[in-house]
Chain A
Amino acid sequence: GAVVSQHPSRVICKSGTSVKIECRSLDFQATTMFWYRQFPKQSLMLMATSNEGSKATYEQGVEKDKFLINHASLTLSTLTVTSAHPEDSSFYICSARGPDTLYEQYFGPGTRLTVT
């Protein structure tokens, strides 16, 4: 149980375009979802926390107008990177938790974004 999927696993986009990444909880209701970013040889860094039906809470230094997060249902959250730049190239990982997971976070497999 407690499986989290992400789509796509890899995406390449051109500078200036937008790209959407999906995070789904497959077998539990995710009342909270988290988005992380990981640069090569660096720690995973929390970008934002979203509760179902509410606006996301962004960490300091993360631009909310650039990284749009929607958590409209208990099984789906999306991260849209708007006007992507090469420096946005990174590994994006989501996690989810809910009552069924005893509030422990379960992580998705990640999405590798490359902006050319």
Chain B
Amino acid sequence: KQEVTQIPAALSVPEGENLVLNCSFTDSAIYNLQWFRQDPGKGLTSLLLIQSSQREQTSGRLNASLDKSSGRSTLYIAASQPGDSATYLCAVILYQGGSEKLVFGKGTKLTVNP
């Protein structure tokens, strides 16, 4: 059974810091991996999707890497801002029986202090 773990569970940093969020998964047979942002009581906003054949994706101040063989992904946020405060979710995308399934971690709650 695929399990996704995110470390740390919570992180508080001063504005301007660069930071790394970690995600690990137990089964390397994934289709893709996706990072999301969730604001309190809200739905999910997709940040980056990494296909299994890719090693990284970049969007603005965000960079996500993927190492399938070791079952790890990282999300790097450069020059953090208070508006980055949210919960960041990592999800592995599996393809089983002709159907797609996302398995999520519990998230990392990020607080960026002004």
Contact = CB atoms under 8 A, between A and B. Distances in A.
Interface of A: 4, 6, 32, 34, 41-46, 49, 57, 91, 93, 95, 97, 103-110, 112
Majority secondary structure of chain B interface residues (helix, strand, loop or mixed): strand
A21 to B, nearest CB: 13
Most chain B beta carbons < 10 A, residue from A45, A46, A107: A107
A97 to B, nearest CB: 8
A43 B104 contact: yes
Interface in B67-114: 89, 91, 99-107
Contacts of A104: 46, 49
Interface size class of chain B, counting residues whose CB lies under 8 Å from the partner chain: 20 to 34
The majority secondary structure among interface residues of chain A is strand
A36 B93 CA distance: 14
Contacts of B99: 49, 57
Given A41-B106, A104-B46, A104-B49, A112 B41 contact: yes
Contacts of A105: 100, 102
Contacts of A112: 41
Interface of B: 4, 36, 41-46, 49, 89, 91, 99-107
11 contacts: A32-B100, A43-B103, A44-B44, A44-B102, A46-B102, A49-B100, A49-B101, A107-B44, A107-B45, A107-B46, A110-B43
Nearest to B39: A109
A107 B47 CA distance: 12
B43 A44 contact: no
Contacts of A49: 99-101
B101 A93 contact: no
Given A43-B89, A97-B100, 7 more contacts: A32-B100, A57-B99, A104-B46, A105-B102, A107-B45, A110-B42, A112-B41
A63 B30 CA distance: 27
Nearest to A112: B41
